[in-house]
Amino acid sequence: MTRDMAKAMCQHFMDARLIENATDPTSNLFKDRGTYILTPKGLHVLERFISKNGINSDHLQPVFSSQPICIKLLHLERRSSDDEIIVTQSVITALFRRFVGRAANYASPADKPLDVFQKYNERSKGITLSDMTERAQPLQGKPAQVHKHCFAAVTALEWLCDFTSVVGREEAAEMAAQFVRFGLITLVSDKRKNNDSAIIFTVRGSAPGGNSPVSVCWFPYLSLDVILTFVAATRRIPLYREGYLQGHRRRSSSGSLG
């Protein structure tokens, strides 16, 4: 293996959230002279490999005990022919239920700072939510509106990368686009400027309750200003007591999402 190939492989490890920069966890670029550690997801994969192959890991116990480890990593099945994630409504439903958690995961005000284990445990409960107030627009006759159960698009992708077996933001965005396709999330705010970057993901498939192919609208994710939310809907997956999660979608010439 050449040095360039090794560096590319390490970059894949970073994209899959198996390793991270020890001094700058927010960095997504593998650097030759950086110092790296295993992520909680990486520790899960390592522990699973050790258990599956019956390897003695006594010398690794200090590592496992000193860092958080992902206990509930959702493994998504892949096709043997091309290694693509198998997408069905039942798969997306299971992924979505894990994504939203058992209860709305609002950040709780803490009297004292949380340690790294506590922070990770809070994130593992489901995507972190907040409420967003949309300003009133008197000229258009629109009053101020509060949207509940909101999250930033980029936060959703980070969560999917950390707590499922997706191997990068592209696959995470594809899964998020499937949430859109099945009518589970809706866009409530996109304050990106015209020159801001965005990645557009389109997925095709049958609409829930129908057989017509559907082209799902874009899913931008490079800006924290892109906010999505959970809102009431019908014929969707039950979510808490407030209602359901609904998707932001466009009608295509061949059909709609119902």
- Alpha-helix residue ranges (DSSP H) falling in 131-217: 153-163, 169-181
Same domain, 59 and 97: no
The reply to whether 190 falls in a domain is: yes
The alpha carbon of residue 80 and the mean position of all alpha carbons in its chain are separated, in whole angstroms, by: 24
Domain count, the chain: 2
pLDDT (0 to 100) of residue 79: 93
Residue 222 has pLDDT above 90, yes or no: no
pLDDT value, residue 230: 52
Output the pLDDT for position 151: 86
- pLDDT category at 196 given cuts 50, 70, 90 is low
Residue 135 token pair: 């300003």
Q: Which of 150, 116, 115 is nearest to 132 (CA)?
A: 150
For residue 18, the model assigns a pLDDT of 96
Residue 72 lies in a domain: no
- Asked whether residue 124 falls in the same domain as residue 175, the answer is yes
pLDDT at 178 over 80: yes
Residue 23 has pLDDT above 70, yes or no: yes
| Contact criterion met (CB below 8 Å) for 102 and 72 | no
Q: In which band, very low, low, confident or very high, does the pLDDT at 165 lie, cut at 50, 70 and 90?
A: very high
- Taking each helix axis from N to C terminus, what angle separates 40-53 and 153-163, rounded to the nearest 10 degrees? 20
- 247 band by pLDDT with thresholds 50, 70 and 90: very low
Model confidence band, residue 138 (pLDDT cutoffs 50, 70, 90): confident
Gap between the terminal Cα atoms of the chain: 51
Domain match, 34 and 100 both: no
State the angle between helix axes of 116-124 and 153-163 in degrees (0 to 180), rounded to the nearest 10.
Answer: 100
pLDDT of residue 197: 57
Kindly state whether residues 174 and 59 are assigned to the same domain.
no
pLDDT of residue 251 exceeding 50, the answer is: no
Q: Alpha-carbon Rg of the chain, whole angstroms?
A: 20
Cα 76 to chain centroid, rounded: 13
Task: Supply the pLDDT for residue 111.
Answer: 67
User: Are 181 and 56 members of one domain?
Assistant: no
Do residues 56 and 127 share a domain?
no
Could you tell me the residue range of the domain that residue 15 belongs to? 3-66
Residue positions counted in the chain: 258
User: Do 62 and 97 belong to one domain?
Assistant: no
**Confidence label for 239 from pLDDT (cuts 50, 70 and 90):** very low
Structure token digits, residue 223: 């800006």
- Please say if the pLDDT value at position 59 is more than 60: yes
Mean pLDDT of 181-196: 73
pLDDT of 223 higher than 50: no
User: Nearest Cα to 73, choosing from 161, 180, 164, 198?
Assistant: 164
**pLDDT at position 254, please?**
29
For position 207, which CATH number holds? 1.10.10.10
Q: Is position 252 within any domain?
A: no
Q: Which residues neighbour 129 within 8 Å (Cβ) at sequence distance 6 or greater?
A: 104, 105, 106, 148, 149, 150, 151, 230
Q: Are residues 62 and 116 in the same domain?
A: no
pTM for this entry: 0.77
**Would you state the pLDDT for residue 77?**
94
H/E segment holding residue 14: helix 3-15
pLDDT for res 141 = 79
> Is 186 part of a structural domain of the chain?
yes
Look over the chain and give the mean of its residue pLDDT values, rounded to a whole number: 77
Same domain, 117 and 42: no
